[in-house]
Amino acid sequence: MQTDSSFTFVLFGGTGDLSMRKILPALFEAHRAGGMLADSGKIVAVARHAADRGEYLQWVNEHVKPYVSKNGLDETAWASFLERIEFVKIDLGNPQDFVLLRDAIKELPGIRVFYLATGPSLFVPICRALASVGLNENARIVLEKPLGYDLKSSNAINDAVGEIFAEEQIYRIDHYLGKEPVQNLLALRFGNALFEPLWRREWVESIQITIAEELGVEARGDFYDNTGALRDMVQNHLLQLLSIVAMEPPHSMDSDSVRDEKLRVLRALKPINPLDIGKVAVRGQYHSGVIRGNAVPAYATEHGVKQNSTTETFVALKVEIENWRWAGVPFFLRTGKRLADRVAEIVVNFRPVPHSALGASALRAGANRLVIRLQPNETIRLYCLAKQPGEGMNLASVHLDLAFDQFFREGQMEAYQRLLLDVINGRLALFVRRDEQEAAWRWVEPILNEWKASNKPPKPYASGTWGPAAASAMLAQHDTCWLEEEN
């Protein structure tokens, strides 16, 4: 992934949490690796909470450095990374201040990348202010989620940004698409003759996609209470993962070939009848409980959460895809906060053999299963049946395990690092196209509307568990259960 592409990377929200934890550490790792970032490339932080470059670099040393020194820090590389950073203090609410930004970067070389690590309410004002000083020409704009509150607001943002930047200039980021196992899912399916013939309704019984968090809303209670798990996780991360799991083989790995196939999946999602939402959608809200031996509070008592809030912190869905490959195969999606473990994984449950010639132990041992884990440890595990040592034909489940950190000795690339390099180098395949986003919102909206209209409270679940019992009951109707393994 080496590049000679010169660039000017302008980071709005330069003192924000995302910049501190993800963006600047990812740029540093690319810098430290050598050859991934052009020597002439510059990072220009934009914020109003620092007086000048010296004060901003002091903030970077204090707040960003801990996130890049977990495995040891090369002080020489860190010092040279800081030399890349410039700073411009502007008030984002004052369009006149963008003249300062224009003047600060006009002599800097290469492609201009504007990363909006801000709240979505600032996306349109920032884009308009950039256009007012001519900074939208031959540039790339990166938009963080959430992009809108519903289909209407999402379209309003896309319409306004689309008047200023062409679609090929807009990079809607979803960091799950940059994770190594997601990339390996494409390699697994389309690079091997072994799996692709089995990747269809004749051989797959069901598929689960889980993104579970141990954390609560932390300091984001006000934001989260106006968002909820369906908007925050399902509409983007989970539906994007589903589309990659279920997509047809693309013609090539160029940006539009991949995104065209993902779009076909999203458009083939079976619409949910409002009368059936209670059968195929479960929402919950965490109460107090214990996680790793520590007592944690209920969502209702978190700072910023409205009294008697009905915002969901947990969602489980049964999804169907109406196409030739997947007709009749249920996809189960699940996400939540304050759950029993932090894990993100895709589970492909294959159908059992049509007739067991090996006796009852084969039936008890279960069917084949492929587990693609995205976090916390990135692995692909294939479960098969094998004979136990000793007398008789007693079968047990065993697994073939690909642990990337053991098989590939070189360090893995973090998701943000890969995606930021893709932006700098103009690769769009791992970013969400507008029509994909619209299709996802269109499918999600009936659920949002029905939950709002019914005004029923979410089902309670204790923190430290796997969510409401109704989520397990939904799978039990299909003679299956959630995979809940320890890390």
**CA distance linking residue 276 with residue 282, whole number of Å:** 11
pLDDT at position 486 is 52
Is 20 a member of any domain?
Answer: yes
Helix (H, G, I), strand (E, B) or coil at 204: strand
14 and 127 fall within a common domain: yes
Task: Please say whether the beta carbons of 162 and 156 come within 8 A.
Answer: no
Question: Which residue, 121, 32, 106, 120, is CA-closest to 73?
Answer: 32
Phi, psi (degrees; rounded to nearest 5) at 421? -65, -35
pLDDT (tens digit, 9 = 90+) per residue, 403-440? 766 777 666 788 999 999 999 999 999 999 999 999 99
Cβ atoms of residues 144 and 172 within 8 Å: no
Q: How far is CA 295 from CA 215, 219, 225, 338, 463, in A?
A: 12, 17, 22, 11, 9
> What gap in Å lies between CA 487 and CA 484, rounded to an integer?
9
Same domain, 25 and 121: yes
In a domain, 170, yes or no: no
175 is catalytic: no
Out of 31, 175, 237, 303, pick the active-site residue.
Answer: 237
Give the angle 108-113-118 at the CA atoms, nearest 5°. 120
3-state secondary structure of 171: strand
Q: Helix 180-190 and helix 239-246: axis angle, to 10°?
A: 20
Whether the upstream peptide bond of residue 120 has omega within 30° of 0, thus cis, is no
State the pLDDT at residue 1. Answer: 47
CATH code of the domain containing 256: 3.30.360.10
Which H or E run contains 156?
Answer: helix 151-162
Tell whether 374 and 270 lie within a shared domain. Answer: yes
Q: Is residue 294 part of a domain?
A: yes
**Same domain, residue pair 116 and 186:** no
Please tell me whether residues 196 and 291 are part of one structural domain. Answer: yes
Flag whether 61 is in a domain.
Answer: yes
* Cα 347 to chain centroid, rounded: 17
459-462 and 395-403 beta bridge pairing: unpaired
> Could you list the pLDDT tens digit for every one of the 487 residues in the chain?
445 579 999 999 999 999 999 999 999 999 998 889 999 999 999 998 888 999 999 999 999 999 987 667 889 999 999 999 999 999 988 889 999 999 999 999 899 999 999 988 899 999 999 999 999 999 999 998 878 889 999 999 999 999 999 999 999 999 989 988 888 888 888 988 888 899 999 999 999 999 999 999 988 889 899 999 999 999 999 999 999 999 999 998 888 999 999 999 999 999 999 889 999 999 999 999 999 999 999 999 999 999 999 999 999 999 999 999 999 999 999 999 999 999 999 999 999 887 777 766 555 657 899 999 988 888 888 888 888 888 777 787 888 887 766 777 666 788 999 999 999 999 999 999 999 999 999 999 999 999 999 888 999 999 999 999 999 999 999 999 998 865 5
**Pairing state between β 294-296 and 289-291:** antiparallel
Residue 450 lies in a domain: yes
130 and 181 assigned to the same domain: no
Q: Is residue 337 part of a domain?
A: yes
Q: Are residues 73 and 125 in the same domain?
A: yes
Same domain, yes or no: 197 and 295: yes
Q: What is the 8-class DSSP label of residue 413?
A: P
Assigned token pair, 20: 């501190």
The C-alpha atoms of residue 391 and residue 395 are separated, in whole angstroms, by 11
Domain boundary among 89, 123, 144: 144
The domain in which residue 79 lies consists of 7-144
Q: Is residue 152 in a domain?
A: no
Tally the domains of the chain: 2
Indicate if the alpha-carbon torsion angle 196, 380, 423, 234 is positive or negative: positive
- Final residue belonging to a domain, choices 128, 144, 160: 144
- Asked whether residue 189 falls in the same domain as residue 322, the answer is yes
In terms of domains, do 30 and 102 share one?
Answer: yes
Tell whether 323 and 396 lie within a shared domain.
Answer: yes
> 114 with 51, same domain?
yes
Residue 171 lies in a domain: no
CATH of the domain at 18: 3.40.50.720
139 φ, ψ to 5°?
Answer: -125, 170
Q: Which phi and psi (to 5°) does residue 9 adopt?
A: -100, 105
The residue behind tokens 């002599």 is 107
Final residue belonging to a domain, choices 96, 129, 144? 144
